Amino acid sequence: MPLKPLSTSILWSKDFTKPTRDVNAAIAVYNKSPTGINLQLVEETLNRPPRIHWAKQFKEVNSLEFAIAQEKEKLSGSSGTPGVLGAAAPKNLAPSRWIERLFLDAPSLDGYVLLGDSKKGAQGATFKFELGNRILLAKTARGKDTNIQTECRREFEFYKLLYRRREHPNLAKVWGWADLKLGDQHAEGFLMDFIKGADGFAAQKLLKDHWDLGIISTAQYWGAIQYIGRCHITVVRYLNDAGWVHNDIKPENYMVSATTGEVIVIDLGGAADIGRQPAAVTSNYLAPEMRLGGRPNPEAVGSVGSDVFSIGATLAHATEAPHAIHEQARPNQGVQVKAVPYLSNTPVGLVRNQFEYGVETDFTRQLNRMMSEHPLERQKVVDEVASNRFLNDSMLNDNEAKEVLSGVVSGRLDMEWRLKWAAAGKTPPTLLITDRSRIERDLDLKTRALKSKVTQDAVNITEGMLGMMRAELSRIAQLIQHANAFGIDTRRHQNIVNQKSREYDLLESEIKKPKSTALKSSSSSSASPKGKKI
- Choose, by CB under 5 A, the member of 35, 57, 253, 406 that binds Mg ion: 253
Element (H, E) at 140: strand 134-140
**136 close to 193: Cβ distance less than 8 angstroms:** yes
- Choose, by CB under 5 A, the member of 5, 121, 288, 334 that binds Mg ion: 121
Closest-CA residue to 401 (of 172, 222, 196, 215): 222
Of the pair 262, 442, the CB lying nearest ligand ADP is at 262
Q: How far is the CB of 251 from ligand ADP (least distance, A)?
A: 9
- Choose, by CB under 6 A, the member of 38, 123, 140, 306 that binds ligand ADP: 123
Q: Which stretch binds ligand ADP (CB under 6 A): 23-31, 115-123, 156-164, 310-318?
A: 115-123
Of the pair 153, 441, the CB lying nearest ligand ADP is at 153
What is the spatial distance between Cα 222 and Cα 391, in angstroms, rounded to a whole number?
A: 9
Of the pair 44, 442, the CB lying nearest Mg ion is at 44
Q: How far is the CB of 123 from ligand ADP (least distance, A)?
A: 4
What is the spatial distance between Cα 437 and Cα 349, in angstroms, rounded to a whole number?
A: 13
**501 close to 450: Cβ distance less than 8 angstroms:** no
Based on the shown chain and the rule CB under 5 A, indicate whether residue 282 belongs to the binding site for Mg ion.
no
Of the pair 267, 307, the CB lying nearest ligand ADP is at 267
Closest-CA residue to 304 (of 360, 229, 374, 358): 374
Of the pair 71, 267, the CB lying nearest Mg ion is at 267
Of the pair 225, 266, the CB lying nearest ligand ADP is at 266
What is the spatial distance between Cα 255 and Cα 170, in angstroms, rounded to a whole number?
A: 9
Based on the shown chain and the rule CB under 6 A, indicate whether residue 122 belongs to the binding site for ligand ADP.
yes
| Diameter of the chain measured on Cα atoms | 105
Q: Which does 122 bind (CB under 5 to 8 A by kind): Mg ion, ligand ADP, none?
A: ligand ADP
Based on the shown chain and the rule CB under 6 A, indicate whether residue 204 belongs to the binding site for ligand ADP.
no
**Alpha-carbon torsion angle 443, 445, 447, 452, nearest 10:** 180
What is the spatial distance between Cα 265 and Cα 195, in angstroms, rounded to a whole number?
A: 11
Based on the shown chain and the rule CB under 6 A, indicate whether residue 269 belongs to the binding site for ligand ADP.
yes
Q: How far is the CB of 279 from ligand ADP (least distance, A)?
A: 10
DSSP string, 325-368: -TTT--TBTB--STHHHHHH-PPTTSS--GGGSSS--HHHHHHH
**CA 235 to the chain's CA centroid:** 23
Q: Which chain residues interact with ligand ADP by CB under 6 A? A: 119-123, 126, 137, 172, 192, 194-195, 199, 252-253, 255, 266-267, 269
Q: Which chain residues interact with Mg ion by CB under 5 A? A: 121, 253, 267
